[in-house]
C-alpha cells in the first residue's frame, strides 16, 4: 500500500493509514508532504524500535511530482491512499489506473456551516470559530464557509467577529490560541485569496492582513469576510476548470466566509 499524506496533519494521518494497512497484513510506503517530512521519519524510527521487520513500514520523501508519481505508478503498489487537492487527486487516480491499483481519495472541499434563525447563536458562533481557527485554520474539515439565514445574519457576524480577539503567538506557549501558518507559500496564498475576495466585492468584518506587531513571522489575522457570493473564488475549492455558476445562495440566506488563517 502507498499512502500520500498532506502537510497539515502529517503524523496523525500517517498513523491512520499505517494502522489500517498493518492490521490487514499489508506492507506500507508513506510519502509525506515535502514541507513536513520529519514527523513521519521519526515515526518510522519508533516502528523499527518496536520490532517490526524491515520493509513493513517505509517512508520515502520528496516532491509529489517526482516521488509521489513514481510511487503511484509502481506496479508493486496494489492500493493508494491519497489526501490532498482535487487536482493532485485526479493525477493520482490516473496514474494508479495504469496498473489497476485501487485508490482511496480524500480531496479538498469548502464544507459549510449552515445557521438558521432558530439556532442557539452563541453556540453556533463558538462552534464556527473553533472549527475554522483551530490549528490556524489549516484543516480540511474547517468549515470555512458559513451560510446564515438573513434574519440573524448581522447578529451572527457580530458574534463571529470576536475572532479578532484570538491571541496569536508561539504555538508552544500555553496562552497562544493561534500560531503561524505552516510555510511561506501557504502564507502568500492566504494573503492572495484575501486580496482576490476584496476585489470581487467581499467586505472584511475582522482581520484581513498581517498583524502589525508580528510582521517578522508567518502570521495572518483571524479573518472574517462577508458579502461573499457562491461564485467568488474565496468560496470555492480550487478546480481545474472554471466553476459553472449553476447555483446561488437561496433568498433566505446570506454567505460569509471565515478564511483559513
CATH of the domain at 61: 3.40.605.10
pLDDT of residue 139: 83
pLDDT of residue 101: 97
Identified catalytic residue from 26, 65, 98, 140: 140
Give residue-wise pLDDT tens across range 157-179: 999 998 999 999 999 999 999 99
Our count of domains for the chain comes to 2
245 band by pLDDT with thresholds 50, 70 and 90: very low
Cα-only R_g, the chain: 21
Q: Is 140 a catalytic residue?
A: yes
C-alpha angle 191-250-248 in degrees, rounded to nearest 5: 50
User: What's the pLDDT score for residue 238?
Assistant: 57
DSSP 112-179: EEEE-TTS-HHHHHHHHHHHHHGGGG--TT---EEEEEHHHHHHHHHHHGGGGGPPBS-TTSTT-SB-
pLDDT of residue 141: 79
106 catalytically annotated: yes
Q: Are residues 158 and 205 in the same domain?
A: yes
Residue 137 three-state SS:
helix
Domain stops at, among 77, 106, 135: 106
- What band does 72 get if pLDDT is binned at 50, 70 and 90? very high
207: pLDDT strictly greater than 70: yes
Residue 189 structural domain: 112-258
pLDDT at 239 over 90: no
Q: Are residues 140 and 54 in the same domain?
A: no
Same domain as 151, residue 88? no
Asked whether residue 60 falls in the same domain as residue 78, the answer is: yes
Q: Looking at residue 150, which CATH number applies to its domain?
A: 3.40.309.10
Write down the pTM of the prediction: 0.80
Marked catalytic residue, from 91, 106, 149, 237: 106
Amino acid at each position: 500500500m502507498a499512502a500520500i499524506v498532506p502537510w497539515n496533519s502529517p503524523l496523525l494521518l500517517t498513523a491512520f493509514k499505517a494502522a489500517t494497512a498493518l492490521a490487514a497484513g499489508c506492507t506500507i510506503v508513506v510519502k509525506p508532504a515535502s514541507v513536513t517530512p520529519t514527523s513521519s521519519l521519526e515515526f518510522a524510527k519508533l516502528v523499527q524500535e518496536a520490532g517490526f521487520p524491515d520493509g513493513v513500514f517505509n517512508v520515502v520523501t520528496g516532491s509529489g511530482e517526482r516521488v509521489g508519481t513514481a510511487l503511484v505508478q509502481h506496479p508493486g503498489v496494489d492500493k493508494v491512499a491519497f489526501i490532498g487537492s482535487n487536482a493532485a487527486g485526479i493525477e493520482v487516480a490516473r496514474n494508479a489506473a495504469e496498473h489497476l491499483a485501487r485508490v482511496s481519495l480524500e480531496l479538498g472541499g469548502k464544507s459549510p456551516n449552515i445557521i438558521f434563525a432558530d439556532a442557539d447563536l452563541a453556540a453556533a458562533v463558538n462552534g464556527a470559530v473553533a472549527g475554522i481557527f483551530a490549528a490556524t485554520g489549516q484543516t480540511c474539515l474547517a468549515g470555512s464557509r458559513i451560510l446564515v439565514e438573513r434574519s440573524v445574519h448581522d447578529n451572527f457576524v457580530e458574534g463571529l467577529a470576536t475572532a479578532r480577539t484570538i491571541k496569536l503567538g508561539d504555538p508552544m506557549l500555553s496562552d497562544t490560541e493561534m500560531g503561524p501558518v505552516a510555510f511561506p507559500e501557504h502564507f502568500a496564498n492566504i494573503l492572495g485569496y484575501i486580496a482576490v475576495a476584496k476585489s470581487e466585492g467581499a467586505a472584511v468584518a475582522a482581520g484581513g492582513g498581517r498583524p502589525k506587531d508580528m510582521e517578522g513571522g508567518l502570521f495572518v489575522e483571524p479573518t472574517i469576510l462577508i458579502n461573499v457570493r457562491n461564485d467568488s473564488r474565496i468560496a470555492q475549492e480550487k478546480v481545474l476548470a472554471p466553476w459553472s455558476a449553476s447555483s446561488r445562495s437561496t433568498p433566505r440566506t446570506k454567505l460569509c466566509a471565515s478564511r483559513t488563517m
